[in-house]
Amino acid sequence: MAERDPGGDTRGRRGGAGTGGAGARTPGADVPSADVAITELYAAHWTGLVRLAWLLLRDDLAAEEVVQDAFIAVHRRWDSLRSHESAAAYLRRAVVNGARSGLRHRGVEERYLTREQGEPTAYARRTEVSAEDRALDAEATSSMVTALGRLPQRQREVLTMRYYLDLSEAEIADALGISAGSVKAHAHRGLAALRDRMETSS
Structure confidence at residue 32 as a pLDDT band (50, 70, 90):
confident
List, in order of start, the domains of the chain with CATH numbers: 31-126 (1.10.1740), 142-202 (1.10.10.10)
Q: Which pLDDT tens digit goes with each residue over 91-118?
A: 999 999 999 988 886 655 555 455 555 5
pLDDT, position 127: 45
Burial of 7 (0-12, 13-18, 19+ CB in 10 A): exposed
Given a cut of 80, whether residue 84 has pLDDT beyond it is no
Predicted confidence band of residue 138 (pLDDT cuts 50, 70, 90): low
* pLDDT > 70? residue 8: no
pLDDT-derived band at 173, boundaries 50, 70, 90: very high
pLDDT at 136: 53
Residue 140: what pLDDT?
A: 47
Task: Give the predicted TM-score (pTM) of the model.
Answer: 0.62
